[in-house]
Structure 1
Amino acid sequence: MSAPLAALGDTEAGSGVRPPARRRRLRQLGTRDRVVLGIMVGIPVLIQALLVWIPTLASVGLSFAKWDGLALSSIQGNGLTNYRFVFTESPQFWPAVLHNVTWLLFLAVIGTPLGLLLAVLLDQKIRGTRIYQTVFFLPVMLSLALIGIIWELIYSQDNGLLNYLLGTSGTPHAIDWFGDSKVNLWAALVAATWRHAGYIMILYLAGLKGVDPSLREAASLDGANGRQTFFRIVFPAMAPTNVIIVVITVIESLRAFDIVWVINHGTNGLELLSVLVVQYLVGETQVIGIGSAFAVVLLIISLVPIVIYLSRTFSTKER
């Protein structure tokens, strides 16, 4: 075969355009490799579809229906009635939205900066830094439900550590940290921050390790002090890490559930959107259509930071 014909054989349908490298690699795979590749890709996709996408689509459909949760034949179309109840008639929706916004602001203003501060301090190559990292990261390895139980012991009105340190334990002046609706949200936020700060610390430590040391050396030669070097050189250089942490902070504030559920099932000042979903889907006030509507609202809100992150990531790769 002549050289021109050989080259033509490598093109797609004789169009003169070579197929993409990825497609050429797939064509070079044998039958066994293709089967293995199909299994490795197909099984996770199937699990994802069964556990995530199908329930999500079912929730979207049920949010427009009325169902007693028993026979599928009893499902009846309900239009926008469930959403009308969520936005205009539910006495818990807007307080839950306010609490979620408060949760987000608290983590963004206190929890995330605290994690950044810990990362900067532990990045100074101080003695025992590995031990400190382990101590601060330990809450991340615990479930939020267990963290709620631990902080219940700290906040207990009668025998709690905090009231003991304040000297009010066992007295009429002891503060009911989890029972008083004026303070229980802030008490839960402190417990959530204890875990969140350790998670952010690890992410920022990884980001700091990825910053080119020559940037700091150049800033030092230009006469910049440590504060100027960090805020003008190091922190902007961690832009990808910052975007990830912003997304994580938003999602953490939206999916907060375990702590408040352990405290009082998300009532008496601890109402959150995630709690309302559970209460209406499987709780005492079970109304599946309304619970699905709450779930769809929470899903839409959660998709906003995810879409922003993905669009930013893909646009960066294209550039």
Structure 2
Amino acid sequence: MRRLSRRDLLVLGLLLGIPVLLDLALVWGPALASVGLSFTSWDGIGAIHGVGGRNYVDVTTNYPPFWPAVRHNLIWLGFLALVATPLGLFFAVLLDRGIRFSRFYQSALYLPVVLSLAVIGFIAQLIFSRDQGALNSLLGRTQDPVDWIGDPNINLWAVLLLAGWRHTGYVMILYLAGLKSVDPSLKEAAAIDGANEGQAFFRVVLPTLRPVNIIVGVITVIEALRAFDIVYAVNHGRNGLELLSVLVTDNIIGEASRIGFGSAVAVLLLVVSIGCIIGYLAQELREDRYGSRARRRARPRKAPGGERP
């Protein structure tokens, strides 16, 4: 093996060192700082005073928006995981079959992904506005309009439709790339064994997409827990649209300037995010390990003479 020259080591150090330093400075540095500040009382200007775990107690017991925000984030996660993600997989399967105008459909479904959630929030205002919204006009409710954004009983679901619209296109592209890499001989073998299209997909194709499933699962959790832009653009994340990310912003950079208190909310959000992702990855890796063991046990062994029994 050729030894690396001094120039190679310098280039390798720059290519690895700069991203690591940026990651530490922009991601882990603020994260660790938030953990430390969550045990303090600080308004961003005066002295920092340690308060122990009082911020966490106040967040969970004396802060009314906290538990509604937790419930909304869980609803967000459930909607993306159980509605938007399967819908993206369904569209990917249709496009993979080579239907007519597949390029057009693929571009149309992927279009929301290139838009930021803030832009989608402004689109939500145009569609769901009470007085001049497009939806009330289409439904003929101009005289007795529905307050899609102002009614806390329905505004979360109205926003989730647009968030799911964006998430579906993202998931579709990921699954479409995975389906293109599936060996066609697997489908042919399943057809020869008498499996119909549904059985071939769920028993042969979908198990081969396990790496894509892991990526989609992690992305879904991240998208659900970091949601902020769309609700902030609609009504600043209030009146039925409270999310944990909005509570962090309101306390840290809002009028309250309770940086320690807001950091406690941010740490709780970080713990929930990491916990969900680690739990999901552990489950996937456990199933993959058990599957590998089962395949090794099912593999025929060679007889002592070199022939298979």
TM over 0.5, yes or no?
A: yes
Matched, 1:144 2:117: yes
Q: Is the counterpart of residue 166 in structure 1 residue 139 in structure 2?
A: yes
Of the three residues 141, 163, 166, the one matched with 1:192 is: 163
SS at match of 1:235: helix
Q: What is residue 23 of structure 2 aligned with on the other side?
A: 48
113, 138, 142: which one pairs with 2:86? Answer: 113
Task: Choose from 229, 239, 245 the match for 1:258.
Answer: 229
Instruction: Name which of 184, 200, 203 aligns with 1:232.
Output: 203
Aligned partner of 2:45 in structure 1 is 70
Q: CA, structure 1 residues 204+146, in 2 after alignment: closer, same or farther (shift >3 Å)?
A: same
Q: Conserved in 1, the CA contact under 8 Å of 2:214 and 2:281? A: no
Q: 1:5-35: CA deviations, max 9, x gaps?
A: xxxxxxxxxxxxxxxxxxx66xx11111111
Percent of residue pairs bearing the same amino acid type: 58
Structure 1 position 89 matched with structure 2 position 62: yes
State the one-letter code of the partner of 2:175. Y
Q: CA deviation at 1:312?
A: 7.1
Summarize the Cα distance change of 1:313–1:45 in structure 2 as closer, same or farther, 3 Å threshold.
farther
| Aligned 8 A contact 2:55 2:260 in 1 | yes
Which residue in the other structure is 1:8 paired with?
A: none
Q: Which structure is higher in RCO with an 8 Å CA cutoff and minimum separation 6?
A: 2
Distance 1:214 1:196 in 2: 31
Aligned match of 1:100? 73
Alignment partner of 2:173 out of 179, 202, 225? 202
What do residues 253-293 of structure 1 show as CA deviations (whole Å, max 9, x unaligned)? Answer: 10111110001111101011111111111012321111000
Determine which of 94, 99, 112 is the counterpart of 1:126.
99
Choose from 59, 65, 80 the match for 2:53: 80
| TM-score calculated relative to the size of structure 1 | 0.87
Bigger radius of gyration among the two: 1
Q: Which runs of 4+ in 1 moved over 6 A?
A: 312-317
Q: Measure how far apart 1:311 and its partner are.
A: 5.5
Aligned-residue offset at 1:136: 0.3
**Structure 2 unaligned blocks of 5 or more:** 293-309
Give unpaired runs (5+ residues) of structure 1: 1-23
Asked if structure 2 preserves the Cα contact closer than 8 Å seen for 1:244 and 1:309, the reply is no
